[in-house]
Chains A and B, each alone.
Chain A
Amino acid sequence: MNKIIAFPQVGDYAYPITYLLKHIVRAETLYIPHISSETIELGSRYSPDFVCTPFKYTLGTFIECLELGANVLIQLGGGCRYGYYHELQKEILKNLNYHFTYINLVTEGKTDIKKIIKQFKKIDPKFSILKGLYYLFITKNMVKYMDEIDEYIRYNIGFEQEKNSFLNLKKEMLNSFSKTKGYFSLKRKYRYYKNKFKNIKLKNEPRFQVGIIGELYTVMEPSANYELELELASHGIAIKRYTNATYLLFEKKKKVKKYLKKAKDYIKYKMGADAADNIGRCIELCEEKFDGVIHIKSSFCTPEIGASLIIKKICQKYDMPLLEFSFDTNTSKVGMKTRCEAFVDMIEMRKENEKVLFRN
């Protein structure tokens, strides 16, 4: 039987993951469908009601992929309830009479490389570690470049002169990246697109800066936060977001110590997932005099619920506007829009008031 691999949809990372898998294992990688309302419906139908939302989204994607013929599922796993996803999802999907191999990359907070290699060897007996390492290196850089350019896009997309110029160029870049031949060709492409992005004409307007912090999946997957970033950008806001794949995979270990130190008035230990990081980031945003903080989480996300009260306290101390969202599978987009609009109005009113006070 042919092996067909599938994995959950997160942000734009399907491009590098597909690229990596295509080159290291001789198996087909499925074109992962985008998360649609049908995906969410499927996922919630077979999930426990009070599980965090990413579980429902990823389960929905898996079911769709299995229907399309996938038989190898890859899940990442992490440091909170996410670490138990694989056991539960495996059981649920088995009960639905699907047949598949399930690979979990991070178990109990650790990556067992030997075990993963073993599993890949099962899929492809000729799996070569050396080749795997080479393409892993390229993919790592691809993710790094993508995140770097994304950061620039996020900060400027609200100010483009020609509508959709950022998004169209990004699509072009991702397609070009996924056709990369080797490391140097990737680097050339990165330089070319970086230059192109810098040349996009921007409106010269005063901008408000808002930092987005929160639970990682909701932050990174636009369909899980109802495209909050684009909505904010349409109000003329420059966005700073900390969480991305580069942070989670390569920087977290180092930076979480820095954040813990920063947040030492409030917490002593890590609180699971990104909760401690988010408290530290909130203090950082306040100290850097941002115009607002938005804290988003999926409903029932335990680490972030713990963090949210501390974040409220910090924002009160620094007199910082704070907007909180708890996204579930059925929150309507209208409610999110109303709150965003009011948030931007509030920031504007505050700024104008500051100006008046300054003049007096």
Chain B
Amino acid sequence: MKKCYLGIDIGSISTKGVIIDYNNNILAKDYLETNGEPIQAVKKLIKSLKEQLPDDYVLKGIGTTGSARKLIGLMVDASIVKNEITAHAIGTLAIHPDVKTILEIGGQDSKIIILRNGIIVDYSMNTLCAAGTGAFLSSQAKRLSIPIEEFGNMALKSKTPVKIAARCTVFAESDLIHKAGLGYSKEDIIAGLCKSIVLNYLNNLGKGKKIEGPIVFQGGVSKNKGVVKYFKEVLKMPIIVDPNGHLMGAMGMAILAKQKETDKVYNLNFHDISFVTKGEECNRCSNHCEILRIYKDDELVDAWGSKCHRV
């Protein structure tokens, strides 16, 4: 029996999963929408991965990352649960060992990771504003009634992108409505939007960071050709966009699970486990903690959210 390792990245918009063998070759991969239900999404994901996996492999480790990493880690009994920054860096290094800058724009957050000689030396994550994220792009695509898949191609058609405020989502949106009212073409507006994402990202996260090549661009927004084009234009450097770029977080977790390998053997039978969460506001003191209790097969396995560690 050969060994394999599973990595799951549960993001705000999409859920990604990868199974790798001992030499980091991808054996199975899938990508599907979270739809606000991480537990259901992961069940679906694992079912699909199971069908892709050849029979002669035995699962030796599971790693989870992303915003629902703790919950899913509990559900699948993961061997390692890690933050997105480390996961992305490890995953990307496996494919591009000489990478020096990772740009990542996801559905709800964006981050920049600076690496030198294969180790993270600096990173930053957006703090306050959603202007530089995929959520903003998709909401504006809806406003202009353009399918998000065509967004990038339309941006490429424009020769003179309109200027759109890059500081803040609210300002960007009012700029956009204003420019549309003035009669600018849709292509120019979309191109302007893509450029504003790039400028916002670099203003917010890139400030004071030494961005050097090779640069790898990841996350859902990296599929948007318009954004890639303006990153190249503004940074004046080539940008690498991997076809598996969206899987890097999951890949990193699979590698970390490999490094933490024990004798334990994992299985992929999760679809019949009942995994329920119940939220409740505790009124015992003025903190009003929102306590979340997690039940696996009707048994309380964990509770989060209380400041006084009450379950």
The reply on A326 being an interface residue by CB < 8 A is: yes
Question: What 0/1 readout, one digit per residue, does chain B (256-271) give for beta carbons within 8 Å of chain A?
Answer: 0000000000000000
Task: Pick the interface stretch among B141-149, B165-173, B285-293.
Answer: B285-293
Whether B121 lies near A38 (C-beta < 8 A) is no
Whether A345 lies near B287 (C-beta < 8 A) is no
Report 25 cross-chain contacts, Cβ distance below 8 Å, ordered by A residue: A36-B288, A37-B286, A37-B288, A38-B286, A38-B287, A309-B208, A313-B208, A316-B208, A319-B121, A322-B122, A326-B127, A334-B67, A338-B84, A339-B83, A341-B82, A342-B83, A342-B85, A342-B123, A342-B125, A345-B82, A345-B83, A346-B121, A346-B122, A350-B121, A353-B117
Give how many A residues have a beta carbon under 8 Å from the other chain's beta carbons: 27
Interface residues in A303-360 by Cβ distance below 8 A to B read: 309, 312-313, 316, 319, 321-322, 326, 328, 331, 334-335, 338-339, 341-342, 345-346, 349-350, 352-353
Taking a contact as CB atoms closer than 8 A, the residue among A33, A316, A328, A350 that contacts B286 in the complex is: A33
Knowing that A342-B123, A349-B120 touch, tell me 17 more A-B residue pairs with CB under 8 angstroms. A36-B287, A37-B286, A37-B288, A38-B286, A39-B286, A313-B208, A322-B122, A326-B127, A331-B127, A334-B67, A341-B83, A342-B83, A345-B83, A345-B120, A346-B123, A350-B120, A350-B121
Number of A-B contacts (CB under 8 A): 64
Question: What 0/1 readout, one digit per residue, does chain B (275-310) give for beta carbons within 8 Å of chain A?
Answer: 000000000011111000000000000000000000
Whether B83 lies near A338 (C-beta < 8 A) is yes
Residues of the A chain whose Cβ atoms lie less than 8 Å from the Cβ of B85? 338, 342, 345
With a 10 A CB-CB cut-off, give which of B121, B128, B210 has the most chain A CB atoms: B121
In the complex formed, the residue of A with least CB distance to B120 is A346
In the complex formed, the residue of B with least CB distance to A351 is B119
Residues of the A chain whose Cβ atoms lie less than 8 Å from the Cβ of B287? 36-38
The reply on B86 being an interface residue by CB < 8 A is: yes
Q: What are the 7 A-B residue pairs with the smallest beta carbon separation, nearest first? A: A342-B85, A36-B286, A36-B287, A345-B86, A341-B83, A349-B119, A38-B286
Question: What 0/1 readout, one digit per residue, does chain B (206-242) give for beta carbons within 8 Å of chain A?
Answer: 0010100000000000000000000000000000000
Residues of the B chain whose Cβ atoms lie less than 8 Å from the Cβ of A335? 125, 127
Least distance between A171 CB and chain B CB atoms (Å): 13
B-side interface size class = 20 to 34
Question: What 0/1 readout, one digit per residue, does chain A (27-43) give for beta carbons within 8 Å of chain B?
Answer: 00000010011110000
Whether A338 lies near B122 (C-beta < 8 A) is no
**A266 CA to B15 CA, complexed, in Å:** 47
In the complex formed, the residue of B with least CB distance to A340 is B83
Residues of the A chain whose Cβ atoms lie less than 8 Å from the Cβ of B210? 316
In the complex formed, the residue of B with least CB distance to A349 is B119
**A342 CA to B113 CA, complexed, in Å:** 11
**A350 CA to B85 CA, complexed, in Å:** 15
Least distance between A308 CB and chain B CB atoms (Å): 10
Residues of the B chain whose Cβ atoms lie less than 8 Å from the Cβ of A37? 286-289
Residues of the A chain whose Cβ atoms lie less than 8 Å from the Cβ of B117? 353
Least distance between B40 CB and chain A CB atoms (Å): 21
**A319 CA to B119 CA, complexed, in Å:** 13
Residues of the A chain whose Cβ atoms lie less than 8 Å from the Cβ of B128? 328
**A296 CA to B128 CA, complexed, in Å:** 15
Least distance between A330 CB and chain B CB atoms (Å): 10
**A128 CA to B194 CA, complexed, in Å:** 70
With a 10 A CB-CB cut-off, give which of A309, A313, A319, A345 has the most chain B CB atoms: A345
Residues of the B chain whose Cβ atoms lie less than 8 Å from the Cβ of A350? 119-121
Residues of the A chain whose Cβ atoms lie less than 8 Å from the Cβ of B82? 341, 345
Question: What 0/1 readout, one digit per residue, does chain B (62-100) give for beta carbons within 8 Å of chain A?
Answer: 000001000000000000001111100000000000000
Whether A321 lies near B122 (C-beta < 8 A) is yes
**A304 CA to B40 CA, complexed, in Å:** 45
**A321 CA to B124 CA, complexed, in Å:** 11
In the complex formed, the residue of A with least CB distance to B88 is A342
**A326 CA to B121 CA, complexed, in Å:** 21
Least distance between B12 CB and chain A CB atoms (Å): 12
Whether A38 lies near B288 (C-beta < 8 A) is yes
Least distance between A61 CB and chain B CB atoms (Å): 12
User: Contacts A338-B84, A345-B82, A345-B86 hold; do A321 and B121 have CB atoms under 8 A apart?
Assistant: yes
Least distance between A319 CB and chain B CB atoms (Å): 8
**A58 CA to B288 CA, complexed, in Å:** 20
Residues of the A chain whose Cβ atoms lie less than 8 Å from the Cβ of B286? 33, 36-39
Question: What 0/1 readout, one digit per residue, does chain A (200-238) give for beta carbons within 8 Å of chain B?
Answer: 000000000000000000000000000000000000000
In the complex formed, the residue of B with least CB distance to A330 is B128
Interface residues in B100-123 by Cβ distance below 8 A to A read: 117-123
Whether B122 lies near A339 (C-beta < 8 A) is no
With a 10 A CB-CB cut-off, give which of B84, B118, B120 has the most chain A CB atoms: B120
**A316 CA to B67 CA, complexed, in Å:** 30
Least distance between B65 CB and chain A CB atoms (Å): 10
Whether B285 lies near A36 (C-beta < 8 A) is yes
Interface residues in B22-71 by Cβ distance below 8 A to A read: 67
Taking a contact as CB atoms closer than 8 A, the residue among A326, A334, A341, A353 that contacts B119 in the complex is: A353
